[in-house]
Amino acid sequence: MNQIRALSLLSLALCALPALAQGPGWTANATILRIVDTSNGGVNVRLAPDVVDCVSQSGYGSNYASLYPDHPGLNRIKATLLTAYAMNATIAIYLSDSTCRIQEVELGGR
């Protein structure tokens, strides 16, 4: 009986894995669907494939990674994001934590 219970709990835990927030780490190679300049001076980015369970700034939802206005590379990273969007190029984004805070970007993907 305990084995059945343990297997059931393991199955439930494995099913819940996709619900975990993405990050820290690199996203899969992605294209940019949407770039949002937020009122606080930051940037939100929607990718395909989606990032999941993020806590985006300004309430844009769980599929937006966020570049905050206090990031020292804000303007350079935004320029790379805009270039990738305009060229429909592949990009990889390094998320520094499970809220999907953007730390680094790589044009051309990983």
Per-10-residue mean pLDDT of the chain, 110 residues long, equals 55 40 87 97 97 95 97 98 97 96 90
The pLDDT value recorded for residue 92 is: 96
Count Cα atoms within 13 angstroms, Cβ side, for 79: 4
pLDDT at 3: 65
Question: Can you give the residue ranges of every domain in the chain?
Answer: 21-107
> What sign results for the dihedral spanned by CA atoms 60, 61, 63, 66?
positive
What does DSSP say about strands 91-95 and 43-48: parallel, antiparallel, or unpaired? unpaired
CATH topology of domain 21-107: OB fold (Dihydrolipoamide Acetyltransferase, E2P) (2.40.50)
Q: What is the pTM of this model?
A: 0.78
